[in-house]
Structure 1
């Protein structure tokens, strides 16, 4: 059997995914807890396809499917990074929706014994704000995340990028937040390829200058910083930054282009992970880290290196629309019953892009039920007029 795609025909695999993860639950989880690396998957949200909404309406979520996907990730040993950009934070999911998501996911994490971190931002601000308002917005979200029992991830703020006038504004504000935090947090540096409004974050468009400011914040409060998440898609810069961190402060790679080499590390250290690509790769990624836990670096790379082509495809420019491919693969894998996204973002990528994502994911053996994935892909193709 073959499937006709926009760029030609393709013969799908017939073997189910090697690492489990089917519809309605974990579908074959197991294995020892991850030991040598701390690994979070930034998780997507499942829209309610029957809600009568517009692209500008507050998000309507299918809570059962959204939380089931988080249980799937926990069952395979991964942590969940909640309410971050993979969950369409700032791209359809507003603060009210994010707050409810954090509350529900934190309760699920407690019940499942899963690790959870959650994004702290300023997206309740809907108009230009001064630094005092930005600080108050961060404080409100930090309090909610800590009250829920999740580890805070201090995300980059569009409002702060607009209000700050110097690197000192960043140092002052982040220092205030770190003094308030009850437990060590993760600092998140999200590059403008993920959000153009964050250009010049840390007070400078020069990345060397911005890095110095970022490190100054950490150096003044190392006891309040568990780690940093770096999402600049620049492996060399991440390694250099990683080597300059104070002892005990971790680097969580957010580089969806170079994650195998960064997680493996070198003679001077390695990166942990907080990655959007580990949403569709969850079971495979967890197995790869278990192999690395045994000291088998070659086996780790043999599992993870072949996934980079898929990741680079999903995260190609404009990178911020990678969520569309992530949700497509969740639908094809049986984790949800539809390909509908918050804000209508299922239309943010072209049919050729989606077809190539299917082909690459199937080639990796990611689908627990290849026949289901093929059937669903054919149904999508038919909507676009591609007859089989």
Structure 2
């Protein structure tokens, strides 16, 4: 305790140098937290966005992978309601949704747009990004005459020069291979932070898509949301594609669907290990340099202490204790600076424009705070300060009294 009291008094006496050291440590810890929060946010947002739309499990028509045309009218699930009913009754299944996707052309006056249509339901969890992004009208709402409407993004509306309530013709190739069209009213407009998502598709009710394509009682795929992604594998093993109601289908887990992205995430983990090492090394250089300057400027002071009776090991312990106190104080200050910063960007995000858009994360990138990163930052700051003091203490304690003076 005597070393701690003396170290504290010494820090107050040399407060200018102490403030510089505390600033170096706190800034380094805050940077470590910032980088960790950014990396954690990137991984979580990427993973969440990846699974949000695909679901954890997909029931597809057999032969989907080998098909040249993803909208082939022969690639349909014939009994989707039976499958949805069976899945909904299984343990761990949160939701099973039918998705009827199709290629089409949207026509508005002299403007047209080739796009993918998606038949879904009003309470969809799979496409909640579009549903939650509604800013005008409603998601899959009826028009003023009680007829079914469609939901498009603000980007599509701008391209076609249409607005809420305007008519929009959907031109498709029906189940017989003939062109067919139906005019709908735009009853919902949405906008998200991802231009790729907004301009990639539009939405209508599943039953309306069945009528449009003349696929009564059929669907293109069934996407399943589970309580835990880890349940996808065991559930897929339980489903027998050779027996009803799954006969004629193939089952894919999210790992099979996003295999290439998972490899990318593995490489990202390796990259972040080196990134963290680099960040710690830079922080160690800054902190150690500040501590060494402080210690070596006081060499004569230490020589005087040795001259009045302080032993080598006592001087070494004194310097190490001072470094420890500085490390604790600076690291705590770094947490005070870093944690609110990470929490702010976790709540409001950071707009990186097309940089994160190209990775499918949207223009606004959200950080993620993890308590273990705060603990790691605290330990890193203290460890670096102690390591710098360890070297300085060893050098100072090995010097003779005459050399010190």
Task: State the TM-score, normalizing by the size of structure 1.
Answer: 0.23
Q: Under a length normalisation based on structure 2, what TM-score does the superposition of the two structures give?
A: 0.23
Higher relative contact order, chain-length normalized (CA < 8 Å, sep 6+):
2
Structure of greater Rg:
2
Structure with the higher helix share, 1 or 2: 2
Q: If each structure's strand is expressed as a fraction of its own residues, which one has the higher value?
A: 2
